[in-house]
Structure 1
Amino acid sequence: MSSIGTRVAVVTGSNKGIGYAAVMELCAKFDGTVYLTSRDETRGRKAVEELEKLGLHPAYHQLDIDDESSVLKLRDFLVDTHGGLDVLINNAAIMFPMTTPAEKFVESIRKTIDTNFYHTMRVCKILFPILRPHARVVHLTSDDGHLMKISGREPEASVLRKRFSDPDLTEQELCQLMEEFIEAAKNGDYFERGWPNSVDEREDTWPNEGYIVSKVGISALTRIHQRQFDQDPREDLTVNCVHPGYVITDATYQKGEKTIQEGAEAACWLAMQPLSSSSNDVPKGSYVWHDKQIVDWVHGPLPSIY
């Protein structure tokens, strides 16, 4: 059924966790159609059924951000059915467990950077052209996505941070940084090159540098995207990244300080920001903490540990 003109929101990776809670929040407050998406259609439709029992009515569309054809199908569906897109929350991401064997280190780094950074960027390249004026985009990042997390050996780390924070950084240059990290991981000298190294005391496990660098990349990409939006003829396009807090999810082994509903709150707040005007300045290209505080991504400090 065609519903051209209806406002539309899409949340990636939303059959569980923070994405699921974001769909729940948007269904209750967003004036339009909200799409719950998932890689696995059976799990996604089950999540929709759970929300329907709560009196909420999300729509569903399959989406695997690792599969370009899946993203293209979603784009074509949105154009044919609604004529465009108004809200995009990029939540889909992966984090390998800390117990992953050491011999899987490089493979896991590559996969994490691919999914969390490159494939999120590809989603944006495919869906940004169908954004309508006043669209709101939110990238889920992390406290690990703050620039200060690039904390390897000095002065190499300072050089990396300067490159990441260059106000004229391009997507190509950002991708080059990602590839330099992957190459350093292969060579085993990533700390010496300035990249983070949160060494685990257990010799049979590896730390999660791939996740850290992927989220720093997403935070940097947010700034690039907002510069692109500022030059776009479509009016009032905004993008921000948000750290949801230490949330109880599968990724945190069901540990944390916040429920998934609390973790989704700031993302949904950004997604439903009012129209920007001279008297109403909305966040743009910002790194936002879970309490909705805008944090200086380059210099910090972070408001709390999480």
Structure 2
Amino acid sequence: MTTNSPRIALVTGANKGIGRAIVRRLGELGHRVYLGARNADRGRNAERDLRADGLDVHFVQLDVTDESSVALAAKRIEEEQGHLDILVNNAGTGAPVVKPSETPPSVVRRTYETNVFGVIAVIHAMLPLLRRSQAARIVNVSSLVGSLTYAAERNDPSGVFPKGTFPAVLDYGTSKAALNAVTLTYANELRDEGILVNAVSPGFCATDINDHQGYLTPEQGARIPVLLATLEDGGPTAVFLGEDGTPTGQRLAW
């Protein structure tokens, strides 16, 4: 991956929280980062603040649920850079937690539009640019609650939830399980091309999606996504890593 030019990265859902922390860290590592955000004002404000710190950050309007928006973002990156080295699919959403039996199908469908179909749309649009990279990396920000293994065992290896309990969240949990399956599917297609595709559980971070109840900061949650985004050639693909405070993270079961 040695080059004299900065590596080009795109992070979706990046005007706040973990996404913004990922952008900052990649920028600090010398990468040129496109900060994808649905809301233009928030995206430009984040770009301004990060550029004020000397980082090579560029806002791009990107609504992952709008394929025309995704296509325009890909076109801009192609025109300005010609390729893409790193894609971090961070944009995500979830509804208020209720029992699965009380969750309407419309709520599940809305969550899947962002967490699953949005990721697929972005990968499809950016893949031609990633294929022009000498060492492309795709990182999908998932969640431990998407693990079918831990759900079946009702066991949370991170210790957030007591043994014998596990969140049963129909929209968010199953969308992340689907995202994990999507990750494996792309990883198996692209591994022979040298494109590494992995999923990450950033840990229980204090963000808007959980009303800031998490005990990790967004900066701590950004560590493993950035690790996977900057893997050396020959690094792992089709793995699910979580934040446990160790240098290389915790290997999680799918």
What interval of TM-score do these two structures reach, taking the shorter chain for normalisation?
Answer: 0.7 to 0.9
Contact 1:150 1:213 survives alignment (8 Å): no
AA of the residue aligned to 1:16: K
Instruction: Name the counterpart of 1:242.
Output: 200
- What whole-Å deviation, never above 9, does each CA across 1:106-128 have from its counterpart, x for those lacking one? 21111111211112111111111
> How many angstroms apart in 2 are the aligned matches of 1:63 and 1:266?
23
C-alpha displacement of 1:12: 0.2
1:148 aligns with 2:149: yes
Offset of residue 56 of structure 1: 2.6
8 A contact 2:224–2:249 mirrored in 1: no
> Where does residue 161 of structure 2 map in the other structure?
none
8 A Cα contact 1:15 1:37, kept in partner = yes
CA contact (8 A) 2:145 2:151 kept: no
Could you tell me which residue of structure 2 aligns to residue 268 of structure 1? 226
CA deviations 1:238-280 (Å, max 9, x no partner) are 011000000010111111111000000100011111222xxxx
Mapped to 2, the partners of 1:230 and 1:51 lie a distance apart of: 33
Q: Does 1:137 align with 2:149?
A: no
What amino acid sits opposite 1:241 in the alignment?
A: A
Report the counterpart of residue 8 of structure 2 in structure 1: 8
Counterpart-to-counterpart distance in 2, 1:9 and 1:288: 20
Is 1:119 the counterpart of 2:77? The answer is: no
3-state SS of paired residue (1:37): strand
Aligned length: 232
Q: 1:288 aligns with which of 224, 227, 241?
A: 241
- Report percent identity of matched pairs: 32
Task: Supply the distance in 1 between the matched residues of 2:212 and 2:252 (Cα, whole angstroms).
Answer: 29
Q: Which runs of 5+ in 1 are unaligned?
A: 153-196, 199-206, 277-281, 299-306
| TM-score normalised by L of structure 1 | 0.71
Kindly report which structure 2 residues correspond to 1:1-306, keeping only aligned pairs within 5 A, or say none: 6-29=6-29, 31-98=30-97, 105-131=104-130, 132-148=133-149, 151=152, 208-232=169-193, 236-276=194-234, 282-291=235-244, 292-298=248-254
How far did 1:221 drift? 1.4
Shift of 1:294: 4.7
Q: In the alignment, residue 122 of structure 1 is paired with which amino acid?
A: A
Can you list the C-alpha shifts for 1:84-117, whole angstroms capped at 9, x where unaligned?
10000000010112379x9762211111112111
Runs of 4+ in 1 over 6 A off after TM superposition: none
Distance in 1, matches of 2:241 and 2:98, equals 30
Q: Is the 8 A contact 2:18 2:218 kept in 1?
A: yes
Rg: which structure is higher? 1
**Residues 99 and 150 of structure 1: is their aligned pair in 2 closer, same or farther, counting only changes over 3 Å?**
closer
Conserved in 2, the CA contact under 8 Å of 1:38 and 1:64? yes
Contact 1:96/1:208 (8 A) holds in 2? no
Unaligned stretches of 5+ in structure 2?
A: 154-165
